[in-house]
């Protein structure tokens, strides 16, 4: 039984899981948003948010603690230089998990995890609307029933031409 076992093991040994979380956290910090499965996104959220809270206080000790989790100097610089000043007045909730649907290969439930205070490009969840031309500028095609049939179709078979004319 797994009573009071709060951590999601993600089907990995502890060393593999720690490496996975460190790599995903550094990718999230560098790129500000990543796409992964929902289970990994939720686990990453609990992994990254205490690190962002720790980065609000820029001391040597907090830098070393964050580096011990991330194992990436570039991510630590980004965390303390860019992310920490932006989230300085926020009391928590630095990340957002958006469900995006299912992966085609295996049907896994996918999600985007992103940092909240950073400008989002147009969401992958929103459909793009095509800009329509004004009615006068757009050339209109006649409806299907009013279009003339190509002469090659009419010459080949009289049955075919009759059936196409009925449509």
Order of strands, edge to edge, in the sheet holding 109-115?
Answer: 33-37, 109-115, 95-102
Q: What is the pLDDT of residue 6?
A: 85
Q: How far is CA 60 from CA 5, 25, 65, 81, in A?
A: 33, 20, 9, 14
pLDDT tens, 132-149? Answer: 656 566 666 666 666 666
What is the Rg, in whole angstroms, of the alpha carbon atoms belonging to the chain?
27
Cα 11 to its chain centre, rounded Å, is 23
- Phi-psi sector, 109: left (phi>0), alpha (psi -120 to 50), beta: beta
Sequence-separated contacts (24+) of 142-151 with Cβ below 8 Å:
none
Residue of 48, 41, 36 whose CA lies nearest to 72:
48
Domain ranges of the chain: 14-115
Residue of 123, 95, 109, 105 whose CA lies nearest to 38:
109
φ/ψ (deg, to 5) at 130: -80, 135
Q: What is the pLDDT of residue 124?
A: 52
The CATH class of 14-115 is: alpha beta
Q: What is the pLDDT of residue 90?
A: 93
Question: pLDDT tens per residue, the chain (167 residues)?
Answer: 889 888 899 999 999 999 999 999 999 999 999 999 999 999 999 999 999 999 999 999 999 999 999 999 999 999 999 999 999 999 999 999 999 999 999 999 999 999 998 876 555 555 555 566 565 666 666 666 666 666 666 665 555 555 555 54
Residue 73 burial class via C-beta count within 10 angstroms: exposed 0-12, middle 13-18, buried 19 and up: exposed
Whole-angstrom distance, CA of residue 93 vs CA of residue 137: 49
């Amino acid at each position: 039984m797994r009573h009071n076992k709060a951590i999601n093991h993600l089907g990995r040994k502890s060393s593999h899981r720690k490496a996975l979380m460190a790599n995903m956290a550094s990718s999230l910090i560098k790129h500000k948003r990543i796409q992964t499965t929902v289970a990994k996104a939720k686990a990453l959220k609990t992994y990254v948010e205490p690190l962002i809270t720790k980065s609000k206080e820029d001391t040597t000790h907090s830098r070393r603690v964050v580096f011990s989790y991330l194992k990436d100097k570039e991510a630590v610089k980004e965390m303390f230089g860019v992310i920490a000043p932006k989230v300085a007045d926020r009391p928590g909730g630095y990340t957002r998990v958006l469900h995006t649907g299912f992966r085609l290969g295996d049907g896994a439930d996918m999600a985007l995890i992103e940092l909240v205070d950073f400008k989002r490009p147009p969401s992958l969840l929103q459909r793009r609307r095509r800009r329509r031309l004004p009615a006068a500028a757009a050339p209109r095609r006649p409806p299907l029933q009013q279009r003339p049939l190509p002469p090659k179709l009419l010459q080949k078979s009289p049955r075919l031409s009759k059936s196409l004319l009925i449509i």
